[in-house]
Amino acid sequence: MMTSTTVRTSEAVLREESPQRGPGRARRRRTPVTWVRGGGLSTLVIALPLLLVFGLFSWFPIVRAVVMSFQFTNLVTPAEWVGLENFTYVLSDPLLTTAVRNTLWFALLALVLGYPVPLVAAVLMSEVRRMRGLYAALAYLPVVVPPVVAVLLWKTFYSASETGVFNTIAGWFGLGPFPWLQDQAWAMPSLVLEATWAAAGGTVIIYLAALTGVAPELYDAAEVDGAGVWRKVWHVTMPQLRGVLFVTFILQIIGTAQVFTEPYLFTGGGPANSTTTVLLMIYNYAFGGRGDYGAATALSLLLALVLAVLSAVYFKLTSRWSS
Amino acid sequence: MKSSRRKTALVLVGALTVSALAACSSSDDDGGLTPAEASAAADEPVTIQVAIDEGLEQGAIDAFDTRIAEFEKENPNITVERQEYTWVGTTFAADLAGGTLPDVFTVPFTDGRGLIERQQVADISGLVAELPYADGFNPNIAAAGQSTDGTQWAIPIAAYGQAIHYNRGIFTEAGLDPDDPPSTWDEVRAAARTISEKTDATGFAEMTKSNTGGWILTTLTYAMGGRAETVDGDTTTATIDTPEYREALEYLHDLRWEDDSMGDEFLYDWATSHADFGAGKIGMFVSGGGDYGNLATQNAMNPDDYGVTVLPLQGDDGAVLGGGTLAAVNAKATDAEQAAAVKWIDFYYMSKLTDEDAAVADAQATADQGQPVGVPILPVFDQETEDARRGWISDLTNVPLDQFAPYSEHVVDQPLEAEPPIATQDLYAALDPVVQAVLTDENADVDALLADAQANVQNLIDRG
Residue pLDDT, tens place only, A65-86? 999 999 998 888 889 999 999 9
Q: Are residues B304 and B345 in the same domain?
A: no
Single-letter code of the amino acid located at B459: N
Residue B405 lies in a domain: no
pLDDT tens track for B17-37: 333 333 333 334 444 566 566
CATH number of domain containing B220 = 3.40.190.10
Beta bridge partners of B165: B285, B308
CB B67 within 8 A of CB B81: no
Asked if A55's CB is within 8 angstroms of B426's CB, the reply is: no
**How far is Cα B48 from Cα B250, in angstroms, rounded to an integer?**
50
**CA end-to-end distance (rounded Å), chain B:** 49
**How far is Cα B289 from Cα A262, in angstroms, rounded to an integer?**
33
Residue B268 lies in a domain: yes
Helix axes A116-127, A187-212, angle to 10 degrees: 40
pLDDT tens track for B334-346: 999 999 999 999 9
**How far is Cα A70 from Cα A90, in angstroms, rounded to an integer?**
12
Residues of A whose CB is below 8 A from B12: 55, 59
CB B240 within 8 A of CB B456: no
Is B93 within 8 Å of chain A by CB? yes
Is B215 within 8 Å of chain A by CB? no
Q: CA of A190: how far to CAs of A115, A142, A161, A183, A281, in Å? A: 16, 16, 15, 10, 20
Single-letter code of the amino acid located at B461: I
Residue B243 lies in a domain: yes
Q: Are residues B309 and B424 in the same domain?
A: yes
Is B12 within 8 Å of chain A by CB? yes
Residue B282 lies in a domain: yes
Task: Please report the pLDDT score of residue A323 as a whole number.
Answer: 56
Report the number of distinct structural domains present in chain B: 2
Q: Are residues B95 and B142 in the same domain?
A: yes
Q: Does pTM top 0.80 for this prediction?
A: yes
Task: Please report the pLDDT score of residue B6 as a whole number.
Answer: 45
Among A77, A161, A290, select the one facing B114 at the smallest CB separation.
A290
Among A89, A270, A291, select the one facing B208 at the smallest CB separation.
A270
For A277-300, what is the mean pLDDT?
A: 90
Tell me which residues of chain B, numbers 343 to 402, contact chain A at a CB-CB cutoff of 8 Å.
Answer: none
Is B421 within 8 Å of chain A by CB? no
**How far is Cα B111 from Cα A316, in angstroms, rounded to an integer?**
49
Is A133 within 8 Å of chain B by CB? no
pLDDT tens track for B189-239: 999 999 999 999 999 999 999 899 999 999 999 999 999 999 888 899 999
**How far is Cα B221 from Cα B247, in angstroms, rounded to an integer?**
8
Q: Are residues B317 and B337 in the same domain?
A: no
Asked if B266's CB is within 8 angstroms of A76's CB, the reply is: no
Q: What is the DSSP letter of B121?
A: B
- The candidate with the shortest Cα–Cα distance to B66, out of B342, B364, B393, is B364
Assign B218 to helix, strand or coil: helix
Beta bridge partners of B232: B235
Q: Are residues B133 and B172 in the same domain?
A: no
Single-letter code of the amino acid located at A33: V
For B322-327, what is the mean pLDDT?
A: 91
Residues of B whose CB is below 8 A from A289: 114, 211, 423, 425-426, 428-429
Q: CA of B67: how far to CAs of B37, B52, B64, B362, in Å? A: 27, 12, 5, 10
Query: Chains A and B: how many Cβ contacts under 8 Å?
Result: 130
Residue B2 lies in a domain: no
How far off is chain A from B82, nearest CA to CA, in Å? 23
Task: Please report the pLDDT score of residue A6 as a whole number.
Answer: 38
Q: Are residues B312 and B329 in the same domain?
A: no
Mean pLDDT is lowest, of A151-160, B39-48, B423-432, for B39-48
How far off is chain A from B3, nearest CA to CA, in Å? 15
pLDDT tens track for B415-429: 999 889 888 888 999
**How far is Cα B4 from Cα A40, in angstroms, rounded to an integer?**
14
Is B20 within 8 Å of chain A by CB? yes
Question: Can you give the length of chain A in residues?
Answer: 323
For chain A, give every domain's residue range.
26-68, 85-322
Task: Please report the pLDDT score of residue B201 as a whole number.
Answer: 97
Mean pLDDT is lowest, of A123-127, A204-208, B164-168, B441-445, for A123-127
Asked if A74's CB is within 8 angstroms of B93's CB, the reply is: yes
Q: Are residues B140 and B177 in the same domain?
A: no
Q: Closest chain B residue to A52 measured between Cα atoms?
A: B12
Task: Please report the pLDDT score of residue B377 as a whole number.
Answer: 87
Is A184 within 8 Å of chain B by CB? yes
Residues of B whose CB is below 8 A from A38: none
**How far is Cα A178 from Cα A16, in angstroms, rounded to an integer?**
75
The pair phi, psi for residue A3, each rounded to 5°, is -100, 145
Whether residue A10 is predicted with pLDDT greater than 70 in this model: the reply is no
Asked if A55's CB is within 8 angstroms of B114's CB, the reply is: no
Helix or strand holding residue B236 (H, E): strand B235-238
Q: Are residues B168 and B132 in the same domain?
A: no
Q: Are residues B156 and B194 in the same domain?
A: no
Asked if A179's CB is within 8 angstroms of B24's CB, the reply is: no
Give the dihedral sign, CA A181/A251/A303/A287. negative
Interacting residues of B464 by C-beta distance below 8 A, sequence separation 6+: none
Residues of A whose CB is below 8 A from B265: 159-160, 182
Helix or strand holding residue B156 (H, E): strand B155-167
Task: Please report the pLDDT score of residue A149 as a whole number.
Answer: 94
Q: Closest chain A residue to B26 measured between Cα atoms?
A: A78
Q: Closest chain B residue to A293 measured between Cα atoms?
A: B93
Asked if A268's CB is within 8 angstroms of B429's CB, the reply is: no
Among A76, A89, A287, select the one facing B463 at the smallest CB separation.
A89
Q: Are residues B197 and B300 in the same domain?
A: yes
- Cα angle A139, A143, A144; round to 5: 110
Assign B241 to helix, strand or coil: coil
Mean pLDDT is lowest, of A93-102, A110-119, B145-154, B191-200, for A110-119
Radius of gyration of chain A (CA): 27
Residues of B whose CB is below 8 A from A47: none
CB A222 within 8 A of CB A231: yes
Residues of B whose CB is below 8 A from A60: 16, 19-20
Give the dihedral sign, CA B341/B345/B346/B351. positive
Q: Which is higher by pLDDT, B432 or A323?
A: B432
CATH fold label, A85-322? MetI-like fold (1.10.3720)
Q: A257 pLDDT band (50/70/90 cuts)?
A: confident
**How far is Cα B274 from Cα A320, in angstroms, rounded to an integer?**
58
Is A74 within 8 Å of chain B by CB? yes
Which of A16-25, A147-156, B96-105 is most confident?
Answer: A147-156
Interface probe, candidates B12, B13, B17, B440, chain A, greatest A C-beta count within 10 A: B440
pLDDT tens track for A159-200: 999 889 999 999 999 997 999 999 999 999 999 999 999 988
Q: A321 pLDDT band (50/70/90 cuts)?
A: low
Residue B22 lies in a domain: no
Q: Are residues B64 and B147 in the same domain?
A: yes
pLDDT tens track for B351-390: 999 899 989 988 988 888 788 899 998 999 988 899 999 9
In 10 A of CB B414, how many CB atoms? 18
Among residues B360, B388, B408, which one ends one of the domains? B360
Asked if A288's CB is within 8 angstroms of B429's CB, the reply is: yes
**How far is Cα A296 from Cα A298, in angstroms, rounded to an integer?**
5
Residue B406 lies in a domain: no
How far off is chain B from A9, nearest CA to CA, in Å? 20
DSSP count for chain B of H helices, then E strands: 20, 11
Single-letter code of the amino acid located at B335: D
Asked if A182's CB is within 8 angstroms of B266's CB, the reply is: yes
Is A190 within 8 Å of chain B by CB? no
Q: Are residues B256 and B167 in the same domain?
A: yes
Single-letter code of the amino acid located at B425: Q
**How far is Cα A286 from Cα B453, in angstroms, rounded to an integer?**
20
Task: Please report the pLDDT score of residue B161 as a whole number.
Answer: 92
Is B208 within 8 Å of chain A by CB? yes
Cis peptide bond prior to A271, omega within 30° of 0? yes
Asked if B24's CB is within 8 angstroms of A73's CB, the reply is: yes
CB B344 within 8 A of CB B248: no
Task: Please report the pLDDT score of residue A287 as a whole number.
Answer: 85
Beta bridge partners of B310: B163
Is B236 within 8 Å of chain A by CB? no
Asked if A60's CB is within 8 angstroms of B19's CB, the reply is: yes
Whether residue B154 is predicted with pLDDT greater than 90 in this model: the reply is yes
Parent domain of B156? 32-160+324-360
Is B269 within 8 Å of chain A by CB? yes
For B234-260, what is the mean pLDDT?
A: 96
Residue B247 lies in a domain: yes
Whether residue A128 is predicted with pLDDT greater than 90 in this model: the reply is no
SS3 labels along B430-460: HHHHHHHHHHHCCCCCHHHHHHHHHHHHHHH
Buried b (16+ CB within 10 A) or exposed e, B67-81: bbeebeeebeebebe
ipTM of this predicted complex?
A: 0.82
Among A76, A284, A291, select the one facing B27 at the smallest CB separation.
A76
CA B168 to chain centre: 26
Task: Please report the pLDDT score of residue A319 as a whole number.
Answer: 77
**How far is Cα B136 from Cα A39, in angstroms, rounded to an integer?**
76
Helix axes B58-74, B356-368, angle to 10 degrees: 160
